[in-house]
Amino acid sequence: MKDYDVTKIKNIAFAGHNGSGKTSLAEAILYKAGASDRLGKTADGTTVCDYDPEEIKRCISIGTSLASFEYNDYKVNLLDTPGLFDFASEMIEGIRASDTVMITVSAKSGVKVGARKAYAEAEKQGKSKMFVVTKIDDKDANFFNVLTELKTVFGPTVCPVVVPVISNHKIVSYVNLIEMKAYKYDSNGNAIETDMPTAEISEKFEYRIDGLIGAVSEAVAETSDELMEKFFEGEEFTQKELIDGIHDGMNRGIITPVVCTSATEFAGIDMLLKEIELLLPAPHEVETVGDSEVKCDISEPMSAYVFKTVADPFVGKMSFIRVMSGKLKSNSEVKNSTSGNTEKIGKLCTLCGKKQTEVPYATAGDIVVASKISANTGDTLCDSARIVEFAPMDFPMPCYSMAVKAKAQGDESKISASMQRLTEEDPTITYVQDENTKEQIISGLGEQHIEVAVAKLKNKFSVDVNLTVPKIAYKETIRKKVKVEGKHKKQSGGHGQYGHVWIEFEPCVSDTLVFEEKVFGGAVPKNYFPAVQKGLEDSTKKGVLAGCPVVGLKAILVDGSYHPVDSSEMAFKTAASIAYKEGLRQADPVMLEPVGELKVTAPDDNTGDIMGELNKRRGRVLGMEPVTHGVTTIQAEVPMREMHDFALYLRQVTRGMGSFTLEFERYEQLPANLLTEVISSVNSDN
């Protein structure tokens, strides 16, 4: 195994909108670098990074995949992340393990929400960024429009580095603004140096070249006082000054280079590999998240971070680890400072898609995979000589839920065990039992997220399930005070049964039955009081309207009678139950529905639509609060029965920019116009 110095390692996450060409770009890079011997296609399911059966079937990336390769004495770890918002946790994990985020933007469709989200996450985690304008060969591509859009959306840090020369709507060549050289590409994607463009080739290009060179020089000048002075004096920067300036500016977050490529024609791929080598910061130049005391140095005590977990049905649990300092060795013991346990590290390997290569160790800055360790995503592994703990990742909360039921009887325990492994793999999936409805509920970030989780249950763990819309936990209560009689009298040879009670029922504030007795003169003996209370408690499990649990009920035993021979605890329980049914019918029973506290964060442009939608869903808007420029949080109270598909609505109306949290607040009376519909739906569920 070749040893890589920390200065010779590059960790890159590919992120961006779904369909912007991340996986195709990774495929072209791997092929051009000699890491794969054929160029796979997403549509054919033959790419290195999309190898999961669900990814091949759906032709999308679902999980972050690792593709490590060697190039020009460098070790490059590519992390190809999904662009669909349902799999946001995978993007967050990939960005956490990287030092640079390459954000793909289609030259055809321009800046989409996925690019904005990837940029925001890279900013949040303090990573350097680069824009890769993909699909430059498309007939509808417009690089310079996209470049203008990038500058408008992301500001003055955007700096062009590789640009196309276009004549008669066709790409003539590509100009590297650092080298100040132009290249053409043959049919095999090999670069051939050509003449720099003149006004004859592209009418506007001479003007554009000057402007673009000026933009690069100005961006580089911002990185140091010496370069700024040279810039003001009108001196041209050397190639080394440009490279060092962009490298430094990227690391400090003040320069975001823009390059362009065609993955199908390999155009610009060689230049991108060169930029990976020259411009992107190495791990030791990047400050460690959550603990600046830890230096990315092989001579330091070992520390590492588990950024992703995969439940593999054949290999077992696979933990993706970014080594932060020192050396992580196979067949060693390390401390898990998050759990406090000792971890036994067995086999270590590097991945290129699904291809595994066993390695004896991994050094500071590198990424490696360990099998069958107990650590979970977000755990810190370290040398017991120096205990450190890195900051956890911040994942979005699950917002879309479905009820899960096994198709085959007896599979319930298998579902639970399999779901535990899936929730280890994906922190944005939860699996719980609803206390009120007793249903098993799976929650995630969207419809497709849940569908994929169910498909994994079937493919990985041979568990087949049905999904249904979760039941709403309705309750019942009363609105007026009544006094009723309950009498149970039965004679059938031998001992009979006799229980007789008078009970007052009235509304109160309580989730459980409040029971009192005010019996005078021993009309009901004290030893039967517990039986009356038990009979009432058992009865409150079902109301008289739809059979839902009853809350807010106070029962006072005021009178009754007994028989010295025929009375028994069972008879008084039955009498109490009779009184309960009669009493609730007379006491103006009503249905209660759960109401949640909703906080929706969305762009200002969408707040009017969202508030209109909440009114349609019987919500009450309580207030609005600005969060950042152009983003507002709406606070409201909304009935839970109206919110099942709100996640899908919000994603559609905000194009993925909106998010929300919904937490149970209290119960409120169900409107009378919905009573018949709810009673019917509850009875059909039962």
Domain with residues 592-685, CATH architecture: 2-Layer Sandwich (3.30)
- CATH for 476-587 (2.40.50.1020, 3.30.230.10, 3.40.50.1820, 3.30.43.10): 3.30.230.10
Q: What is the dihedral of CA 230, 235, 238, 239, to 10 degrees?
A: 100
Residue 533: in which H helix or E strand, if any? helix 529-539
**Can you give the pLDDT at residue 199?**
60
Q: Which of 11-20, 406-415, 531-540 has the lowest mean pLDDT?
A: 406-415
280: closest CA among 74, 576, 27?
74
Measured distance CA(74)–CA(361) in Å, rounded? 17
Whether 664 has a pLDDT exceeding 70, the answer reads: yes
Banded pLDDT at 245 (limits 50, 70, 90): very high
Task: List, as one string, the DSSP characters of 557-600.
Answer: EEEEE--TTTB-HHHHHHHHHHHHHHHHHHS-EEEEEEEEEEEE
Q: Which of 136-140, 156-160, 195-199, 218-222 has the lowest mean pLDDT?
A: 195-199
Which two three-digit tokens encode residue 14? Answer: 């590919």
Measured distance CA(181)–CA(564) in Å, rounded? 110
Give me the percent of the chain exceeding a pLDDT of 70.
97
**Can you give the pLDDT at residue 639?**
96
What pTM, to 2 d.p., does this model score?
A: 0.89
**Can you give the pLDDT at residue 493?**
64
597-631 pLDDT tens trace: 999 999 999 999 999 999 999 999 999 999 888 89
Residue 276: CB partners within 8 Å, gap ≥ 6? 10, 12, 71, 74, 76
Banded pLDDT at 315 (limits 50, 70, 90): confident
Banded pLDDT at 375 (limits 50, 70, 90): very high
Banded pLDDT at 322 (limits 50, 70, 90): very high
**Can you give the pLDDT at residue 166?**
82
Mean pLDDT of all residues in 113-117:
94
Q: Do domains 6-285 and 592-685 have the same CATH topology?
A: no
What is the average pLDDT score of the chain? Answer: 90
SS3 annotation, 282-334: CHHHCCCCCCCCCCCCCCCCCEEEEEEEEEECCCEEEEEEEEEECEEECCEEE
Q: Which of 109-113, 213-217, 364-368, 382-386 has the lowest mean pLDDT?
A: 213-217
**Can you give the pLDDT at residue 603?**
94
Residue 509: CB partners within 8 Å, gap ≥ 6? 552
**Can you give the pLDDT at residue 43?**
79
Whether 75 has a pLDDT exceeding 80, the answer reads: yes
**Can you give the pLDDT at residue 195?**
86
So what CATH class is 6-285? alpha beta
**Can you give the pLDDT at residue 373?**
92
Banded pLDDT at 113 (limits 50, 70, 90): very high
Cα-to-chain-centroid distance, residue 588: 46
**Can you give the pLDDT at residue 289?**
54
Banded pLDDT at 288 (limits 50, 70, 90): low
Mean pLDDT of all residues in 550-576:
91
For residue 109, what are the CA distances in angstroms to 47, 140, 166, 363? Answer: 23, 9, 18, 40
- In three-state secondary structure terms, 240 is helix
**Can you give the pLDDT at residue 56?**
84
Whether 409 has a pLDDT exceeding 80, the answer reads: no
SS3 annotation, 207-219: HHHHHHHHHHHHH
142: closest CA among 114, 109, 182, 102?
109
**Can you give the pLDDT at residue 408?**
79
Spans of all domains in the chain: 6-285, 303-382, 400-468, 476-587, 592-685
Strands 128-134 and 100-106: parallel
Measured in degrees and rounded to the nearest 5, phi and psi for residue 111 equal -75, 115
How many residues in total does the chain contain? 686
Residue 397: CB partners within 8 Å, gap ≥ 6? 428, 661
**Can you give the pLDDT at residue 138?**
87
192 bridge partner residues: 184
Whether 1 has a pLDDT exceeding 80, the answer reads: no
Measured distance CA(22)–CA(105) in Å, rounded? 9
Whether 70 has a pLDDT exceeding 90, the answer reads: yes
Banded pLDDT at 291 (limits 50, 70, 90): low
- CATH for 303-382 (3.40.50.720, 3.20.20.330, 2.40.30.10, 3.40.30.10): 2.40.30.10
Are the C-beta atoms of 39 and 31 separated by less than 8 Å? yes
172-210 pLDDT tens trace: 889 999 998 999 998 888 899 998 877 655 555 654 777
Residue 547: CB partners within 8 Å, gap ≥ 6? 682, 683, 686
Residue 172: in which H helix or E strand, if any? strand 170-176
Whether 100 has a pLDDT exceeding 90, the answer reads: yes
Measured distance CA(280)–CA(218) in Å, rounded? 19
Which two three-digit tokens encode residue 416? Answer: 């639970």
Give me the percent of the chain exceeding a pLDDT of 90.
68
Are the C-beta atoms of 280 and 99 separated by less than 8 Å? yes
The answer to whether the Cα torsion of 674, 676, 681, 682 is positive or negative is: positive
Banded pLDDT at 686 (limits 50, 70, 90): low
Whether 430 has a pLDDT exceeding 90, the answer reads: yes
Q: Which of 199-208, 312-321, 365-374, 434-443 has the lowest mean pLDDT?
A: 199-208
Q: Which fold has domain 400-468?
A: Alpha-Beta Plaits (3.30.70)
Question: The tokens 């029922």 sit on which residue?
Answer: 505
Are the C-beta atoms of 322 and 11 separated by less than 8 Å? yes
Whether 144 has a pLDDT exceeding 60, the answer reads: yes
